[in-house]
Structure 1
Amino acid sequence: MRTAVAVRDITRLVEKQLDHLFLYDKQKEGILLASAVSKALKKTAVNFSECRNKYYRKDGEVYFNPFHSGQYTVFLYYLSRVVREYEAFSLADRIYYLNKALNAVDLYYEIELPDLFFLDHPVGTLLGRADYGDYFVFSQHITVGNNHDIYPVFDERVSLLAGAVVIGNSRIGRNTIVSAESFIKDEEIPPNSVVFGQSPHLVIKTMPDSYFDDYFHAKFFLDS
């Protein structure tokens, strides 16, 4: 993966941001952070590998620019997860908080997103502890959460448009687009669906596979 700046400068950027906003001890945490940055970049490269968006690729190569907010959101999410794997929980908390402060996205490090997801202007989004399938796409002001401690399940190729809410004992089938401002609670959505409205009065429109092939392949992913 090509990077807009050197890896050491990405590490310095994170260190400066942590030091400016929170407590950060470079002497005690610097070696761990540098190692975590390298591992997080590898995970970021996998995430970007099938992304169709022009900003995620340069001269045919996967490309990471830490000054692109969406890309940096993904990187900080992975960085917090890698640091958590090292059991440096305080540092993981600060990186999670940094992501929230800079990018206005709530992606806690215990949330397990799939290897392949795409976020599209995700300001104000909160993703809870759901089960997420590959080729998951989300936009701004999304909420995914629990109802009575039960979280949703998303099969592959699900897109949540602006303001969508999915909570509780919901299963969202493969090839589903949840339209803007829709509210889904404790519902099972069949595959190949475009969903409108509010539970329990949802409108579900069935579409052919080709419709979703065009949507996910043309807009988001090279191979989905």
Structure 2
Amino acid sequence: MQRVSKCFKMARDKYYSNEMGCTFSPYNSGQYSIFLYYLANTIFRAGGNYKLATKLYYLNKIMHSVDWYYEIELPEYFGVEHPIGSVLGRAEYSDGFYLFQGCTVGGDKGTEPKYPKLGRNVILYANSTVLGHAIIGNNVVVSTGTTIINDRIPDCSFVFGHLPNLIIKKRNPDEIEKHISDFWIL
């Protein structure tokens, strides 16, 4: 619960945190999916009961239709909105990561597997995908349905489209921060 509380305290969403502090409800699927991930991951980190960690991972998968294996290291605070259908694979995640339904993050299956690296405050809107050796900078918004594979996205950007026609729009840091502050207490 410490990890959940720390995560939720950073959220601007009224369902996660309010003037009274952190709120937790097992009836909120976003909150409960984060709780189950953190619980399974905490057990794994402690070198504990892998059977229990696997059961919690599977419970999260069947209850919320998310595939967030307990061995991946999600950040200290991240958020979800309607997480159904999201797959979070091996990658380097940073604080402020936020995703919506149908998002996928993962590596490639080459002879030398490569995994994405996501900077601070990356928002993945619905059905967006980040694969391979993609490097996403800090304060980046990935638009709905965007596919990024092995690309480098600079800080303070909005990204749209698909390979090979990605559209990257650099933005003023203040403009991006305003957008990000809708999600996180900065």
Common topology (TM > 0.5)? yes
Structure 1 residue aligned with 2:62: 101
| Aligned residue number for residue 38 of structure 2 | 78
In the alignment, the residues of structure 2 paired with residue 207 and residue 82 of structure 1 have an alpha-carbon distance, to the nearest angstrom, of: 37
Deviation for aligned residue 1:212: 1.3
Query: What is residue 205 of structure 1 aligned with on the other side?
Result: 169
Larger Rg: 1
Equivalence for 1:14: none
Correspondences of 1:40-79 after superposition (within 5 Å): 41-79=1-39
Shift of 1:58: 4.4
Cα separation, 2, equivalents of 1:61 and 1:178? 30
Q: Which has the higher helix share?
A: 1
Structure 1 position 188 matched with structure 2 position 162: no
* Structure 2 counterpart SS, 1:54: coil
Distance 1:58 1:151 in 2: 36
Distance in 2, matches of 1:72 and 1:104, equals 12
Q: d(CA) in 2 for partners of 1:123 and 1:52? A: 21
Structure 1: tracts of 5 or more residues without a match:
1-40
Q: Structure 1 stretches (4+) deviating beyond 2 angstroms?
A: 57-60
Partner of 1:21: none
In the alignment, the residues of structure 2 paired with residue 182 and residue 52 of structure 1 have an alpha-carbon distance, to the nearest angstrom, of 25
* Equivalent in 63, 71, 94 of residue 133 of structure 1: 94
What do the CA deviations read for 1:133-152 (whole angstroms, capped 9, x no partner)?
11111110001111122110
Could you tell me which residue of structure 2 aligns to residue 163 of structure 1? 127
Instruction: Report the TM-score, using the length of structure 2 for normalisation.
Output: 0.94
CA–CA separation in structure 2 for the residues paired with 1:49 and 1:153: 24
* Deviation of the 1:200 alpha carbon: 2.0
- Structure 2 equivalent of residue 174 of structure 1: 138
- 1:215 is aligned, of 147, 165, 179, to 179
Residues 157, 176 of structure 2: 8 Å contact kept: no
The yes-or-no answer on 1:123 pairing with 2:84 is yes
**Which amino acid counterpart does residue 215 of structure 1 have in structure 2?**
H
* TM-score (normalised: structure 1): 0.79
Q: CA deviation at 1:50?
A: 1.0
Q: CA deviation at 1:87?
A: 2.3
Deviations 1:11-46 (A, max 9, x none): xxxxxxxxxxxxxxxxxxxxxxxxxxxxxx111001
Q: Please state how far the C-alpha of 1:160 moved relative to its aligned partner.
A: 0.5
2-structure distance, mates of 1:126, 1:57: 25
1:152 aligns with 2:112: no
Counterpart residue identity of residue 188, structure 1: R
Provide, for residues 142-172 of structure 1, a one-character-per-residue CA deviation record: whole Å limited to 9, x for no partner. 0111112211000111111100010001100
Distance 1:108 1:215 in 2: 29
Aligned to 1:110: 71
CA-atom RMSD in angstroms: 1.0
State the SS of the aligned residue for 1:55.
coil
Count of residues in Structure 1 that have an aligned counterpart in Structure 2: 182
> Cα distance, 1:82 vs. partner?
1.8
Q: Please tell me the residue identity of whatever aligns with 1:100.
A: K
Instruction: Assess if the C-alpha contact under 8 Å between 2:30 and 2:80 holds in 1.
Output: yes
